[in-house]
Amino acid sequence: MKAFEIFNKYLDSQPDTPFYIDIINDKTYSRVEFSREALKLCSLLREIGVAPGDKVAAILPNCAEFALLYFAALYSQVTMVPLNPILHPSEVEYILKTSAPKAVFVCPSTAGKITPEIENLFSGSLFGLRIRQESAQEIACAARVFESADVFSSYSPAAIDFGKIRDDHILTITYTSGTTQVPKGVMHRFENFVYNALRFVETVGIGPENRFYGVLSQAYMGGFYNLLILAWVSGATIGFSKSFDALTAITFWEPPMKYNLNTLWLVPTIMAVLMKVDRSEKGRDYARRHTRLVLAGTAPLPVQLRKDFEQRYGIRVYENYGLSEILFVSVNTPREAVIDGSVGKPLQGVAVAIRNEAGGDLAIREEGEIIVKTPECMTGYYKEETAGEKKAGRNEEWFSTGDIGFLDENGNLYITGRKKDLIIRGGINISPSAIENIIMEHPAISQVAVVGIPHDLYGEDIAAVVKLKQGFSLGDIQKELEDLCSAKLSQIRKPSAFFEIEEIPASTTSKIQKNKLRQMLRAKLGK
């Protein structure tokens, strides 16, 4: 079956069921209403000269307009280049110069991300979109400004022949966070998202009864793929709020209670913040009574954090694993017991192997690099030569993930670290993940990152950088941490030093930037 036929299954069979709840503006779109509004944006794209095969960039916060642009891009056969509003203007400049979109959309709150050079370079191609929650503000850099309310009230839906929508159309170019080098644009075909989403929802058991709560950024895979596209393919409903922040944490459970949202997709950072600031008994009660599914991904989930979260809210958390380049790889499901440290079994049709540095396959429970063979591998990195990358793996090839892990005798996958984050102490490879999980068991620890630091004899030594919960100091608990590690870790894996930090540096996708931590510690140690 063609990908678009699968994609539109529930639009055809259940057009009037609710699909997108705009929590910010308290507005609900049925599937047919959402599709019709996207077709109006297709008319706007035609008006400003965007043609099939062109690229359209958008720097927008979470909003219905951003979600609709993805569908308009699909219907118009153009490629979306989403940019997160929290990016630095220099990062925005690099991405726009590299991707060269035909049109760039900004709103009042993101117009400041446009540098003078970009404003000059894209003169005539910068468009303002006054989204509903920001309608009164100016967009000085834009050649033309559209009021979203006017677009949806006055534009006619474009006439699109859905039968001509290509499955192999490049729907998105999403740029990685670029923690160690310049960002890389990951290109995915429309069919990749559809077939991979179908594998995932069938494995987990997601359907029309699921009502997702969306607080992940729509500019990244977690927001537009894990939530928006997957909800459309599965017949589920998605309620989108603004991206998660401190204020969202305080009022986190209010939208689920108001809109009867029963499915969460979280990242470890959100879970940690909720554990720290959420004191709502109503939220805990709602979670226990009404939440039917909680998924977690995008970054490693410490075992202790998962257990603490489950205990507080009375709900199970099912971790999944994937990468921007290859989408979902594996997932824990309600059908099987969750094993501590495991990210579940590979999806049907996705092969996983563990190899050593020489390229040889490793045995069960032997740790090495995780490689994946999947039909939904990316097309490649956009303009690969600009990112200094070798040609990326294609569908028929194994993709090197750069992650370290192992498979057990039942086919469960475990992630123990990143290849680049391995610590080599006296010739012994040490994965930080197991050490981090032990340290997280201490009740004073809010977050931990274990990294290698230079050592004259061993080459590298082990350092643990900790963020403590309020009311604790490292001086008071360091002996307890050392005793904990002595009790549960071999001598070679025990940290030789502990450092306290107020905030552990993280990328725009909430992944800990261990390269920055290493640089900070080397500067502190004078090495």
Q: Both 222 and 264 in a single domain?
A: yes
Other residues' Cβ atoms within 10 Å of the Cβ of residue 98: 18
Q: Both 394 and 431 in a single domain?
A: no
Q: Both 117 and 238 in a single domain?
A: yes
Q: What is residue 312's predicted lDDT score, i.e. its pLDDT?
A: 94
Q: Which residues pair with 105 in a beta bridge?
A: 58, 127
Other residues' Cβ atoms within 10 Å of the Cβ of residue 267: 19
- Cβ contacts of 227 within 8 Å, gap of 6 or more: 212, 214, 216, 238, 240, 265
Other residues' Cβ atoms within 10 Å of the Cβ of residue 498: 17
pLDDT band at 388 (very low <50, low <70, confident <90, very high): very low
Asked if the structure places residue 414 within a domain, the reply is: no
Asked if the structure places residue 411 within a domain, the reply is: no
Q: Both 57 and 145 in a single domain?
A: yes
Q: Is residue 443 predicted with pLDDT exceeding 80?
A: yes
Q: Is residue 389 predicted with pLDDT exceeding 50?
A: no
Q: Both 177 and 314 in a single domain?
A: yes
What span, in angstroms and rounded, lies between the C-alpha atoms of 481 and 478? Answer: 5
| Domains of the chain: total | 2
pLDDT band at 434 (very low <50, low <70, confident <90, very high): confident
Q: Both 446 and 393 in a single domain?
A: no
Asked if the structure places residue 357 within a domain, the reply is: yes
Q: Using alpha carbons, select from 223, 300, 310, 214 the residue that is nearest to residue 263.
A: 214
Q: What is residue 386's predicted lDDT score, i.e. its pLDDT?
A: 43
pLDDT band at 240 (very low <50, low <70, confident <90, very high): very high
- The predicted model scores a pTM of 0.83
Q: What is residue 387's predicted lDDT score, i.e. its pLDDT?
A: 40
Asked if the structure places residue 415 within a domain, the reply is: no
Q: How far is CA 395 from CA 4, 94, 125, 370, 376, in A?
A: 20, 28, 35, 16, 7
Out of 405, 436, 453, a domain closes at 405
Q: Is residue 518 predicted with pLDDT exceeding 80?
A: yes
Q: Is residue 397 predicted with pLDDT exceeding 60?
A: yes
Out of 405, 432, 448, a domain closes at 405
What is the radius of gyration, based on Cα positions, of the chain? Answer: 23
Query: Which residue type does 313 have?
Result: Y
Long-range contacts of 8-14 (CB under 8 A, 24+ apart): 8/162, 9/233, 9/235, 10/208, 10/232, 10/234, 10/235, 11/35, 11/232, 14/208, 14/235
Asked if the structure places residue 413 within a domain, the reply is: no
Q: Both 107 and 62 in a single domain?
A: yes
Q: Both 179 and 237 in a single domain?
A: yes
Asked if the structure places residue 168 within a domain, the reply is: yes
Q: Both 272 and 240 in a single domain?
A: yes
Q: What is residue 178's predicted lDDT score, i.e. its pLDDT?
A: 45
Q: Which residues pair with 463 in a beta bridge?
A: 451, 497
Is 473 strand, coil or helix?
A: coil
pLDDT digits (tens, 9 = 90+) for 73-120: 999 999 999 999 988 888 899 999 999 999 999 999 999 999 999 999
Q: What is residue 454's predicted lDDT score, i.e. its pLDDT?
A: 85
DSSP strand pairing (237-240 vs 263-266): unpaired
The token pair at 59 is: 């720097």
pLDDT digits (tens, 9 = 90+) for 495-509: 999 999 999 988 766
Long-range contacts of 360-363 (CB under 8 A, 24+ apart): 362/406
DSSP strand pairing (170-175 vs 185-189): antiparallel
427-446 mean pLDDT = 86
Out of 380, 405, 430, a domain closes at 405
Q: Is residue 464 predicted with pLDDT exceeding 60?
A: yes
443-469 mean pLDDT = 89
Asked if the structure places residue 412 within a domain, the reply is: no
- For residue 458, give the CATH number of its domain: 3.30.300.30
For the chain, the average pLDDT equals: 90
pLDDT band at 254 (very low <50, low <70, confident <90, very high): very high
Q: Both 476 and 352 in a single domain?
A: no
Q: Both 130 and 102 in a single domain?
A: yes
DSSP 117-138: HHHHHTTTTEEEEE-GGGTTS-
Distance, first Cα to last Cα, the chain: 59
What span, in angstroms and rounded, lies between the C-alpha atoms of 269 and 441? Answer: 17
Residue 437 domain boundaries: 422-525
Q: Both 497 and 433 in a single domain?
A: yes
DSSP strand pairing (327-331 vs 345-346): antiparallel
- For residue 247, give the CATH number of its domain: 3.40.50.12780
Long-range contacts of 129-135 (CB under 8 A, 24+ apart): 129/60, 129/65, 129/105, 131/60, 131/61, 131/63, 131/64, 131/65, 131/66, 131/107, 132/22, 132/24, 132/25, 132/63, 132/64, 132/65, 133/24, 133/25, 133/63, 134/107, 134/108, 134/109
SS3 percent helix, strand, coil of the chain, rounded to 5, is 35, 25, 40
Beta strands in 231-273 (DSSP E): 237-240, 263-266
